[in-house]
Amino acid sequence: MATHAVPGEGPTRPVSVSLHEGTIAALKERIGKRGMSAYVEALIQRQLERDRLRELIEAAEADHGPVDRAAIEAKRAVLRGEAAGAADAA
């Protein structure tokens, strides 16, 4: 029985990726010469989470129709700490 790989788990191993020189320079400026692997690992894990979330949203919208944009904005207002009336006024 095959095991399912979980991002962030298991042993690490080197892989080769190609990046633009400007990207490498910006990365080194931000994190230094050390820590690049951990930084890139975190970025990839975050992107995988976003990809999976997008897939879940698309599946939910296929089953239930598109999400009401006004409802999304109202929830964002709550997350920003704005009064409920302020979201309705916008």
Name the band, by pLDDT with cuts 50, 70 and 90, for residue 87: very low
Name the band, by pLDDT with cuts 50, 70 and 90, for residue 1: low
DSSP structure class, residue 68: P
Full-prediction pTM beyond 0.85?
no
Q: What are the extents of the domains in the chain?
A: 21-89
Distance CA 73, CA 82 (A): 11
Q: Is residue 48 within 8 Å of residue 40, measured between CB atoms?
A: no
Distance CA 51, CA 69 (A): 21
- Cβ count within 10 A of residue 69: 8
Q: Is the pLDDT of residue 73 over 60?
A: yes
pLDDT digits 0-9 by tens, 2-57: 567 889 899 999 999 999 999 999 999 999 878 999 999 999 999 999 999 999 99
Q: Is the pLDDT of residue 84 over 80?
A: no
